[in-house]
Structure 1
Amino acid sequence: MTQTETSRFPIPQLETLPDDIRTRILTVQEKSGFVPNVFMVLAQRPEEFRAFFAYHDTLMDKDTGLSKAEREMIVVATSAVNQCLYCVIAHGAVLRIRAKKPLLADQIAVNYRKADITARQKAMLDFAVKITTESHKVGEPDFAALAGHGLSNDEIWDIAAISAFFGMSNRIANFSNMMPNDEFYTLGRLPKA
């Protein structure tokens, strides 16, 4: 993929990056077989790259509370509202893999209210979308509704934090014209042979 197809901003050469960033990118490439464009687009600003991925990893890689698939559901729903092509496609692929449901990401991106998810997950996504579109209107009835579905305060915080973080990420991807890698479109759609 050429630089202009990846982003409207210059993409640095891997060998010019600081050691820690280059190592992280090579590790991701080894694991996934390609380098997601977000890594190279953000690598042009090393301090921001480090801060972005530190918070991303803190929110998305937890083994407690919300499942990793539920975390990805929040990203896909938030990114769909924000019309972020990169994040809907990239995190849709991750959601398909983590949930082991090839149709789920598309359902959530188009209309999560009709997706094949639980009532608890719909309440979770209702709250995530409200954080995305009307966070100034969040109040006690929202917290009571989530608690009624068994969501803890820590899980509620995570829903809001993931939605808010990806609101920022969506805006970066949108203004930079960050394009999803072709590989994301097919990941998780068919069972592995």
Structure 2
Amino acid sequence: MQGPLLRLLRRASGCRRVSLTDQNCIVPRPLLVSGSLWGRAQRAATSHACSTQAGSSTRPLRRYPIPNKKDLPYDIVELMEEVEMKSGFLPNVFSVMSHRPAEFRAFFAYYNAIMNKEKGRLSKADKELIVVATSTVNRCPYCVIAHGALHRIYSKKPALADQVVVNWKLADLSDRELAMLEFALAVSHADNITEEHFQKLEAQGFDREDAWDIGMIASFFAMSNRIAHFTDLRPNEEFYTMGRIPRDKEKTETP
């Protein structure tokens, strides 16, 4: 699931049919999956689609209104429909950020720039682990749960993210991962960053550009965590089992 989802996120910084500055564009043709996205998103306001516990309906996705599809630019609706179609569900962050189309584009464009770049020594699992660790200290349920799920997928280590959430210093981390998280958390805490921080990274094979990547991920998600706080963004139930219970599709796919 994550491969198609992350590939689709790459499109958030551009649009094939409309200008990124056109916030008044109306969807010009039927949706890819008619009514699917917005029917679910609006039902989430009165159901438990966004709760942190199955069966709970006490925390609706309604602190800010979910726009009607006719009021959103076509490129945003198309992206969201494709994410839902490929993934089987729409991550709640898409619905929440659609409240501000220009910020939606900027948010996912920057996400794409730091999380999907192919250069550097950080693996996808490394990046997700940074998000889990920094989002834990920032007390962000959405990012901890969602990116913990992605880490399980990429790392094939179903317990490591959970260990990091409880106490990263006692988790089964390599010296390389410990140095990486120590730097990320120093940035997240707004500590004074010294040459010693960089030297510890360099001792584990990271260069200055890798340090930039680690720092940027920690910084971006410090912002993202705070957006989640004031919007009351809650994780989709699907995230809790991702990487723990195989999907039917994964059972039937051949290498």
Deviating runs (4+, > 6 A) in structure 1? none
Q: Does 1:55 align with 2:98?
A: no
The higher relative CO (CA closer than 8 Å, separation ≥ 6) is in 1
Aligned partner of 2:157 in structure 1 is 101
Deviation at 1:190, TM superposition (A): 2.9
Aligned partner of 2:124 in structure 1 is 68
Deviation at 1:13, TM superposition (A): 2.8
- Mapped partners of 2:80, 2:129: distance in 1: 24
- Mapped partners of 1:118, 1:15: distance in 2: 50
The answer to whether the 8 Å contact 1:103/1:189 transfers is no
Question: Relative to 1, partners in 2 of residues 1:147 and 1:164: Cα closer, same or farther, differing over 3 Å?
Answer: same
Deviation at 1:7, TM superposition (A): 4.5
Q: Does 1:175 align with 2:218?
A: no
Alignment partner of 1:134: what SS? coil
- Mapped partners of 2:181, 2:69: distance in 1: 37
- Mapped partners of 1:171, 1:23: distance in 2: 27
Deviation at 1:20, TM superposition (A): 0.9
Match of 1:79 among 135, 149, 153: 135
Deviation at 1:123, TM superposition (A): 0.6
Question: Relative to 1, partners in 2 of residues 1:20 and 1:48: Cα closer, same or farther, differing over 3 Å?
Answer: same
TM-score by length of 2: 0.72
Deviation at 1:77, TM superposition (A): 0.4
Match of 2:189 among 98, 108, 133: 133
Question: Relative to 1, partners in 2 of residues 1:119 and 1:191: Cα closer, same or farther, differing over 3 Å?
Answer: farther
Question: Relative to 1, partners in 2 of residues 1:43 and 1:80: Cα closer, same or farther, differing over 3 Å?
Answer: same
Identity of aligned residues (%): 51
Alignment partner of 2:166: what SS? helix
The answer to whether the 8 Å contact 1:7/1:179 transfers is no
- Mapped partners of 1:32, 1:155: distance in 2: 30
- Mapped partners of 1:37, 1:126: distance in 2: 29
Alignment partner of 1:6: what SS? coil
RMSD: 1.4
Match of 1:89 among 122, 137, 145: 145
The answer to whether the 8 Å contact 1:107/1:115 transfers is yes
Amino acid at match of 2:231: S
Per-residue displacement from partner, 1:78-130 (whole Å, max 9, x unpaired)? 10000001100111111111111111221111212222221111110011111
- Mapped partners of 1:16, 1:103: distance in 2: 42
- Mapped partners of 2:125, 2:62: distance in 1: 28
The answer for unaligned runs of 5 or more in structure 1 is none
- Mapped partners of 1:7, 1:58: distance in 2: 29
Question: Where in structure 2 are the equivalents of 1:135-154 lying within 5 Å?
Answer: 135=191, 137-154=192-209
Deviates more, 1:37-46 or 1:7-16: 7-16
- Mapped partners of 1:165, 1:129: distance in 2: 13
Structure with greater helix share of residues: 1
Match of 1:24 among 75, 79, 92: 79
Aligned partner of 2:243 in structure 1 is 188
- Mapped partners of 1:56, 1:106: distance in 2: 23
Q: How many residues align?
A: 192
